[in-house]
Structure 1
Amino acid sequence: MKAFNIMLHSINDVKNFVNVVNRYDFDVDLTSGRYVVDAKSIMGIFSLDLSKPIKVEVHDDDCESFLENIKPFIVE
């Protein structure tokens, strides 16, 4: 499992992020505060506080191409 933070600044960011995540078969969870949602759910993402970084947990060890595709959203 890999974990890191992302920021989604706009509706287009959310849409693009969900489109990328849906290309992969493994599970990806987003955590904001005490809420955990499926990263493939656009409605779930909109229920989170998007003004703060969101923790991403990728449930697969072979996710290098996924990480490359979502690089614009990753924050330190």
Structure 2
Amino acid sequence: MIKRVVKIPSISAVQEFNRICSHFNCDMDLSQGKYTVDAKSIMGIFSLNLEETLVLVANTEDEELVDEKFSKYIID
């Protein structure tokens, strides 16, 4: 399982982020506080406060691929 802190800055970024998640063959979740949603659900993503950071949880061991695909959203 891989966890990364991410920021999704705009509506078009939500669409791109969701599209990237959909290409993974594993569970992809976004968490914010006590809330967790399926990152492959665009409505789930929009239910979160996008002005704050989120935690992406990818149920995969391919850390390199996750870092590559989500590089523009990951907060260092």
Structures share a fold, TM > 0.5? yes
- Tell me what 1:29 maps to: 29
Q: CA RMSD in A?
A: 1.0
* Unaligned ranges ≥5, structure 2: none
How far apart, in 2, do the equivalents of 1:74 and 1:13 lie? 13
- Tell me what 2:15 maps to: 15
- Tell me what 1:55 maps to: 55
Could you list the per-position Cα deviations for residues 16-64 of structure 1 after superposition, in whole angstroms to 9, with x for gaps in the alignment? Answer: 0001110111111100111100000000000001111101111111242
- Tell me what 1:40 maps to: 40
Taking only the aligned residue pairs, the percentage that are identical comes to 36
* Unaligned ranges ≥5, structure 1: none
TM-score, normalising length: structure 2: 0.93
TM-score, normalising length: structure 1: 0.93
- Tell me what 1:2 maps to: 2
